[in-house]
């Protein structure tokens, strides 16, 4: 079994890890940029029971860009962070790779928060990460009523939560949707899983390798199509259905989860239309819990 040692700048706070990391990643979120003073964070996760710590440390807790607590342990003498804990993964300890001072350390297999990646940064070939915001072309009308292209560029609203990214293409506040010559940017609002009342949302989603969403239900009719990779649809009855490229899932207000069990990102397009669960169905699924909250 391999053994590695990490330490702070002055050597007072040290740790030894046994075995190989379970995840090596780079993170481009703004919080990691501030923490490291660099363009990204580079870290490795190890099983907690294989990590042995020596020396005094102080803690600093911050909320990550995706709203999750991170507890950083740093040396009180030199201030260098040597390890930290992620609230959603208590079974592992994360170590900044630079603390190992080992140029031969394995390259990252994951790259997250790429929507905030500096333009000059090149992620190693093969590292799984977000594909970037899709191009969106919006049409409209000029003053004489002729059809024109109003905008052509990357989708302006993207939310990257580390294990998944949401690219909001278009949102309506009602059906039928009003069509004017031009209109304000409809995605300039907080990202919510369901659409507005009586409206619909069209979005791209990306799920990182190994990621799994929580079970959730929205009062909507959703049509999802896999355009890259594969995912698994999990339902209350214990069924697990593989969904591959070109496959379409029609989600009719059911409690469900998505799981990417592959080693590559899974990308889907979704149309979510507001709906209403009938009284008869509602009576069979009580207590009815609907997932309707802001994600950013």
CATH number of 135-284: 2.60.120.10
Q: Which of 149, 152, 115, 148 is nearest to 135 (CA)?
A: 152
pTM of the predicted structure, to 2 decimals:
0.61
pLDDT digits (tens, 9 = 90+) for 135-187: 899 999 999 999 999 998 888 888 877 678 899 999 999 999 999 999 999 99
Query: Do 206 and 266 meet the contact criterion of CB atoms below 8 Å apart?
Result: yes
Q: Which of 65, 157, 125, 129 is nearest to 266 (CA)?
A: 129
CATH number of 3-127: 3.90.1590.10
Q: Which of 153, 149, 156 is nearest to 171 (CA)?
A: 156
Give pLDDT, residue 251: 96
pLDDT digits (tens, 9 = 90+) for 271-295: 999 999 999 999 998 788 888 877 7
Tokens representing residue 62 in the block: 């911050």
Least confident span in 25-39, 68-82, 155-169, 194-208: 155-169
Kindly state the helix (H) or strand (E) to which residue 283 belongs, with its residue range.
helix 279-284
Give pLDDT, residue 62: 87
Give pLDDT, residue 96: 97
Overall average pLDDT of the 184-213 stretch = 92
Confidence of residue 239 (pLDDT cuts 50, 70, 90): very high
Distances 257 to 13, 187, 213, 279 between C-alpha atoms, Å = 41, 25, 5, 24
Give pLDDT, residue 87: 78
Least confident span in 25-39, 139-153, 243-257: 25-39
126 pLDDT above the threshold of 90: no
Overall average pLDDT of the 50-57 stretch = 96
| Region(s) of the chain under CATH 3.90.1590.10 | 3-127
Give pLDDT, residue 291: 85
| Region(s) of the chain under CATH 2.60.120.10 | 135-284
Average per-residue pLDDT for the chain: 90
């Amino acid at each position: 079994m391999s053994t590695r040692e990490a330490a702070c700048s002055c050597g007072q706070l040290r740790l030894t890890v046994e075995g190989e990391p379970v995840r090596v990643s780079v993170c481009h979120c703004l919080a990691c940029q501030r923490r490291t003073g660099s363009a990204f964070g580079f870290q490795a996760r190890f099983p907690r029971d294989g990590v042995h710590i020596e020396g005094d440390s102080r803690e600093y807790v911050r909320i990550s860009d995706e709203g999750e607590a991170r507890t950083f342990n740093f040396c009180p003498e030199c201030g260098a962070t040597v390890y930290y804990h992620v609230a959603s993964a208590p079974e592992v300890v994360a170590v900044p790779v630079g603390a190992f001072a080992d140029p031969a350390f394995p390259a990252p297999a994951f790259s997250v928060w790429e929507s905030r990646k500096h333009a000059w940064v090149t992620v190693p070939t093969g590292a799984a990460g977000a594909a970037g915001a899709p191009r969106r072309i919006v049409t409209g009308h000029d003053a004489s009523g002729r059809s024109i292209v109003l905008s052509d560029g990357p989708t302006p609203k993207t939310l990257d939560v580390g294990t998944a990214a949401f690219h909001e293409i278009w949102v309506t506040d009602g059906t039928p949707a009003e069509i004017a010559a031009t209109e304000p940017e409809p995605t300039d609002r907080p990202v919510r899983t369901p659409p507005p009342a009586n409206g619909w949302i069209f979005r791209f989603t990306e799920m990182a390798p190994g990621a799994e969403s929580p079970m959730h239900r929205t009062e909507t009719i959703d049509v999802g199509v896999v355009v890259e990779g594969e995912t698994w649809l999990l339902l209350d009855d214990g069924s697990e259905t593989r969904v591959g490229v070109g496959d379409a899932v029609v989600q009719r207000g059911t409690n469900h989860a998505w799981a990417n069990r592959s080693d590559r990102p899974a990308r889907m397009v979704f149309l979510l239309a507001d709906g209403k669960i009938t009284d008869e169905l509602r009576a069979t699924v009580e207590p009815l819990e609907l997932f309707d909250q802001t994600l950013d």
